[in-house]
Structure 1
Amino acid sequence: MDVHLNEKEMLQLLEELVNTDSGSLYKEGVDQVGQILMPYFEQLGYKIEIITEEKVGNHLIIRPDCDEEPMVLIVAHMDTVFEKGTAQKRPFMIKDRRAYGPGVIDMKASLVSVIHALTYLKESGSTSYQRVQIILNSDEEIGSQTSRPYIEKESKGKSYALVMEPARRDGSVVTERRGSGRFTIEVHGKAAHSGIEPEKGRSAIEELAHKIVKLHELNDHEHGISVNVGIIEGGDAVNTISAMAIGHIDVRVATLEQAEEMEHKIEEMCASSDVMGTEIELTGDMSRPPMLKNKQIAELFNIVKKVGSELGMTIKDTKTGGGSDASFTSAMGIPTIDGLGPIGGNAHSEKEYLEINSLTERTILLAKVIERLVKGKHTEQ
């Protein structure tokens, strides 16, 4: 059966999603996105399990309503980095074959792509969509803390994981990601007037400064280790020795061994104070393991590359320092490809955009990859 994607319908759904604020901590908005999406999956014959959350949006586990076990897991997220009210300030718009708006490429275009890829398969007479399970989570942009256990649980028994982060600007998919972690150092000191009795104070800011210098000395960019204290807070007045200071730390690593090593070094560093009389509280961990391009991932990429070639597309792969839920599925030993969403750029900024031509192209690619994986034609060379 000759089936064509309807770009106009896809853009209409995308507009509705983009104009619905769904920042990670705006639960009502994320849940509204879920409510928009659920009927599409129900029409395709999927069963939807709603995982209720208190502080973030509810997660959706979407399973085929048939006897056969799903073999392909698709992971996508409904949350964005933008606060409530952003969509009203700069709603969805199209200019020169690009679509703009909060979350348009990361990753609301991917949500549209998933629905229409599965619809394409069903309407073309392929039953491969019935072997696909989907997880739509609501806290990816803040580390997937509540959804990670479900992603890991549902990964078990799957043959492949397809993660719908956007493709890179040149169309590359992602086969390797650095691991990441977030830590917070909270220093407690003792306040005192810096002019009248400074000797009675214990500066939390001074202690934090010592730790910042030591943390940045851990950088080893040549071997893929990045440590950055990106936000600091502290002090009440310029003439007061600070009783409180806080540092927020981002850590990126290339290997599992480095992740363990960095956790150990940061914990050891914060076990004692440099400024006598101050106390340190350390929270956080290496929350996302690295995604390494092993033999299984390389073989899966070759399938994607071959399918793309058959569609007249040249598909390349790349590695990136950003984090995604692909880290969890790959760490579970599931062959994983990330960046299977449409093409765009400037994610997390006011200039975020989608290349509209890629919306249908990448949706067809996703559908054909699913079909190939389910039919097992990946043995063809």
Structure 2
Amino acid sequence: MSEIESQLITQINKQLPDANALLEKTVNINSGTMNFDGVEKVGRVYQQQLNEIGLETKWIKGTAFDRAGHLVAHYGTRGPKILMIGHLDTVFEKDDGFQRYEKRDNQNVAGPGITDMKGGDVIMIEVLRALKHTGLLENMSVRVVMTGDEERSGRPLSESKKAIIEAAKWADIALGFEDGDGNIETAVVARRGSVNWQLDVTGKPAHSSQIFSDEVGYGAIFEAARILNSFREKLSNLGDLTFNPGVILGGTEVEFDEQTASGNAFGKNNIVAKTLTVRGGIRALTPQELTQAKAIMQQITQQHLLHTQAKLTIADGYPPMAPRPGNYALLKQYSAVSEDLGYGVVEPVNPRNAGAADISFAAEHVDMALDGLGLMGSGGHTKDEVADMSSFTKNMHKAALLMYRLSVQQPD
């Protein structure tokens, strides 16, 4: 490493006690997606930190998409345009039993959202602080977007993801500080997109003794079974795509509550089912995979059994972060930084091991994108979420050096 790079690492190390305190403080603030006050409270804490560093910040209210809102910030007009992406919300709501930061030993700390992704948020802040302190931030243009609805996106997506998309259209490079697959030896060059679908089926109700007859037909449940099994046969070997029906309710009467993702069904053994609903999801690595899957599903749905009807609705969702050459080039630079620091080679994550994330909305608009630069650990989205704090310092070092090297490699 160069002398200035060594100074940058030294500065990050000086910041560590305060960085740990900031992480503990914000992990102890519940910010489940639907706890709007908590999400904004975490955002305001980070906003103060970014203001102190010298960034211009703004809190975007989420009224238009029924969420708490987003924190955005920017700095500089020179050098490469870098977008840094994080999120403020977690999957743990106010009534969840998992609420507090807890040290397990010298290396491991448990806490709601500590890896997904308040650890990554703090890494972003401390990298910017170190770059500013060493004078290196002056040679780059940075935008920060920390969303308040990554775990449960607001609707419409055109409003809830507007801040990220606008920043990405401005940027050359997007860096995501999620935890990837939790392995410090990997980073994310590709993520599968995620969209939800709904299948609603109707049949002709009648006494069950008449099922399969020309007058009654097959009923809603047999039609749904045909459709779902055909989906399985046609989609299970389509590239990196996966398809999953998550909940199904069928019978004479069906009720489903979108907010609680639960419902009720009434039916009898001797009555042909009148109605059925299925809710599920699709994950695809490329836009082409997703387009092909949608076409196959609609074609299957429209081939009705006798006296049945079915409607398939596929919602907007997270687009794929496709594995583009620029992403691999950025990973190569990040891996070189890691090796120069003595932390070893960084390999690409298997896309099946990393879920959808906000960087997917940015990736198609930038020259290169890389995610999984945050705090590593295990047990994300569960009460066993534990951070490996050795990765906290290392990934600060790596992200800071990557951004510095990007700034000196490209002209103003």
The TM-score by the shorter chain falls in which range?
0.7 to 0.9
Check the 8 A contact 1:342/1:363 in 2, yes or no: no
- The change in CA–CA distance for 1:61 and 1:95 in structure 2 (over 3 A counts) is same
Question: Residue 165 in 1 paired to residue 178 in 2?
Answer: yes
Is there any run of 5+ residues in structure 2 with no aligned partner, and where? 1-6, 252-264
Task: List per-residue Cα deviations over 1:107-136 (Å, max 9, x = no partner).
Answer: 111011111111111122322486211111
**One-letter code aligned to 1:11:** N
Q: Is contact 2:318–2:356 with CA below 8 Å preserved after alignment?
A: yes
Write the mapping of 1:164-243 to structure 2, written as runs, cut at 5 A: 164-171=177-184, 172-189=186-203, 203-221=219-237, 223-235=239-251, 236-239=265-268, 241-243=272-274
Per-residue deviation, residues 172-198 of structure 1 (Å, max 9, x unmatched): 111122233221112345666769999
What is the percentage of aligned positions where both structures have the same residue? 26
1:366 to 384, 399, 403: 399
1:127 pairs with 2:137: yes
Task: Tell me, in whole angstroms, the C-alpha distance in 2 between the residues paired with 1:193 and 1:5.
Answer: 76
Question: What's 1:50 paired with?
Answer: 59
3-state SS of paired residue (2:170)? coil
In structure 2, the CA distance between the partners of 1:197 and 1:221, relative to structure 1 (3 Å rule), is: closer
Task: Kindly report the root-mean-square deviation, in angstroms, between the aligned alpha carbons of the 2 structures.
Answer: 2.8
- Are 1:263 and 1:286, in contact at CA under 8 Å, matched by a contact in 2? no
- Alignment partner of 1:95 out of 104, 111, 115: 104
- Say if 2:92 is the partner of 1:62: no
Cross-structure match for 1:114: 124
Q: Describe the shift of the 1:234–1:36 C-alpha distance in structure 2 as closer, same or farther (beyond 3 A).
A: farther
Work out whether 1:150 is the aligned partner of 2:163. yes
Q: Tell me the distance in 1 between the aligned counterparts of 2:117 and 2:139.
A: 21
In the other structure, the counterpart of 1:337 is 370
The reply to whether residue 353 of structure 1 matches residue 386 of structure 2 is yes
CA contact (8 A) 1:56 1:139 kept: yes
**What is the CA-CA distance between 1:160 and the residue it aligns to?**
0.9
CA contact (8 A) 2:79 2:407 kept: no
Query: Are 1:191 and 1:202, in contact at CA under 8 Å, matched by a contact in 2?
Result: no
Decide whether aligned partners of structure 1 residues 333 and 194 sit closer, same or farther in structure 2, where only a CA change above 3 A counts: same
Q: Deviations over 1:13-72 (max 9, x none)?
A: 2222222222223323222221221101111121223322232120122111x4547610
SS at match of 2:198: strand
Give the structure 2 partner of residue 301 of structure 1: 331
1:325 corresponds to 2:325: no
Name the SS of the counterpart of 1:175 in structure 2: coil
SS at match of 1:274: coil
Pairs aligned (count)? 375
Aligned 8 A contact 1:102 1:352 in 2: yes
Report how far residue 229 of structure 1 moved: 0.9
Indicate how the Cα distance of structure 1 residues 305 and 377 shifts in structure 2: closer, same or farther if over 3 A, else same: farther
- Partners of 1:213 and 1:22 lie apart in 2 by 39
CA gap of 1:273–1:314, structure 2 versus 1, over 3 A, is same
Which string of whole-angstrom CA distances, capped at 9 and with x for unpartnered residues, describes residues 122-153 of structure 1? 12232248621111112222357343333222
SS in 2 for 1:141: coil
Q: CA offsets per residue over residues 255-282 of structure 1, 9 Å max, x none?
A: 3221111111222233353351x44333
1:20 partnered with 2:29: yes
Deviations 1:321-376 (A, max 9, x none): 22222322222243001101121112111111110111111112111111111222
